[in-house]
Amino acid sequence: MPLPKAELHLHIEGTLEPELAFALAARNGVSLPYADEDALREAYRFADLQSFLNLYYELMAVLRTERDFEDLANAYLARAAAQGVRHAEIFFDPQAHLARGVEMGTVVEGLWRALGSSRENHGVSTRLILCFLRDESAESARETLDAAKPYLDRITGVGLDSAEVGHPPVKFREVYEAAAALGLRRVAHAGEEGPPEYVVEALDVLGVERIDHGLRSVEDPALVERLVRERVPLTLCPLSNVRLRTVDTLADHPLPAMLDAGLVCTVNSDDPAYFGGYAGDNFDAVRQALGLTEERLRDLARNSFLASFLEDDEELRAR
Ligand code: HPA
Ligand code: ZN
């Protein structure tokens, strides 16, 4: 029995496995510039975040209809459930779809077809988090939030993702204020490739409740002390860090030191189709490479529920 856990850092578009990509390409008459699934897998060698993002956005071309988003989410939920995920807070990137002429309603309602029945079908409760692309303009983020207004009953929070360096959190101050005024929860990627200052800014300017990644926080002792004191959860993604070369090898990952420092760490999969593993695979990988004890692994799983947006009674049932 895999350890029951919540997944708090998962991009639904990053769960697009090669098999499904080709099946959806055929269904929608979209041609992919790869001969077959193996040729596509060959492209999964990334030098950094941007080289991954290029492929991630390219493959989204196959996602066109509500049914496509439903199939994508159901495939993820089935895999996650098999690895012990009982609750998933799922990011989606509407701007990447709107830019291709796929409407907000198609994305949200399609995802909801799977998420709305996920408890019954997969034993996994869910939340949906709308991410703004930080390499797009602040105006575009604002328009995206406006486009999401008819669907706010389906959306729990907002996040910030895509190319980090050169796109500091402060760029999105106004749209985060607007999101907060709408009652949305707030998270942001920070300190993945960007400096620790971006983590500070995400907290102080955007008012986020969790930091996605936050890996580079370890470079700033005062920041670490603050994150510990304020019990700010970090949603770490170890296999992602290796594949995107933010750490050299898994054995070099600072997770054990971060736990020793008292940081509220969680372990997540980020873009599992691209980075070689789902939530349980990430747990297995850190256990093996870093020699984490069973107690430490249970702490990580416990942190994942505590750091989630589940309400108390619901949280207990999910565990
Ligand atoms: N970082 C930033 N943006 C992303 C990622 C990531 O790991 N995955 C999908 N969008
Ligand atoms: Zn991410």
The per-residue pLDDT for range 75-127, each reduced to its tens digit, is 999 999 999 999 999 999 999 999 999 999 999 999 999 999 999 999 999 99
Specify the CATH class of 5-307 in words: alpha beta
- Identify the pLDDT of residue 120: 98
Ligand 1 environment, Cβ below 6 A: 11, 14, 49, 56, 161-162, 189, 192, 240, 270-271
Q: ipTM for the complex? A: 0.96
Q: Ligand 1 centroid vs 49 CA: distance in angstroms?
A: 7
Q: Which of 158, 172, 270 is nearest to 210 (CA)?
A: 158
- Identify the pLDDT of residue 208: 99
SS3 sequence of the chain? CCCCEEEEEEEHHHHCCHHHHHHHHHHHCCCCCCCCHHHHHHCCCCCCHHHHHHHHHHHHHHCCCHHHHHHHHHHHHHHHHHCCEEEEEEEECHHHHHCCCCCHHHHHHHHHHHHCCHHHHHCCEEEEEEEEECCCCHHHHHHHHHHHHHHCCCCCEEEEECCCCCCCHHHHHHHHHHHHHCCCEEEEEECCCCCHHHHHHHHHCCCCCEEEECHHHHHCHHHHHHHHHCCCEEEECHHHHHHCCCCCCHHHCCHHHHHHCCCEEEECCECHHHHCCCHHHHHHHHHHHHCCCHHHHHHHHHHHHHCCCCCHHHHHHHC
- Out of 130, 189, 211, 236, mutate this one to test ligand 1's pocket (max ligand atoms within 8 Å of CB): namely 189
- Out of 161, 172, 241, mutate this one to test ligand 1's pocket (max ligand atoms within 8 Å of CB): namely 161
User: Looking at the chain, how many residues does it have?
Assistant: 319
Domain edges within the chain: 5-307
Atom 2 in ligand 1: residue holding the nearest Cα: 162
Atom 4 in ligand 1: residue holding the nearest Cα: 162
Q: Which residues of the chain have pLDDT under 50?
A: none
- Identify the pLDDT of residue 311: 86
- Identify the pLDDT of residue 160: 99
Q: CA-to-CA distance for 202 and 194, rounded, in angstroms?
A: 12
Q: Ligand 1 centroid vs 317 CA: distance in angstroms?
A: 30
Q: Ligand 2 centroid vs 188 CA: distance in angstroms?
A: 9
Is 0.80 topped by the overall pTM? yes
Read off the amino acid at residue 113.
R
- Identify the pLDDT of residue 319: 58
Q: Ligand 1 centroid vs 313 CA: distance in angstroms?
A: 31
- Out of 10, 192, 235, 243, mutate this one to test ligand 1's pocket (max ligand atoms within 8 Å of CB): namely 192
- Identify the pLDDT of residue 147: 98
- Identify the pLDDT of residue 103: 98
The reply, when asked if residue 68 is annotated as ligand binding, is: no
Atom of ligand 1 nearest to the CA of 192: 1
Q: CA-to-CA distance for 194 and 231, rounded, in angstroms?
A: 21
Positions marked catalytic:
192
The reply, when asked if residue 271 is annotated as ligand binding, is: yes
Atom 5 in ligand 1: residue holding the nearest Cα: 162
Atom of ligand 1 nearest to the CA of 131: 10
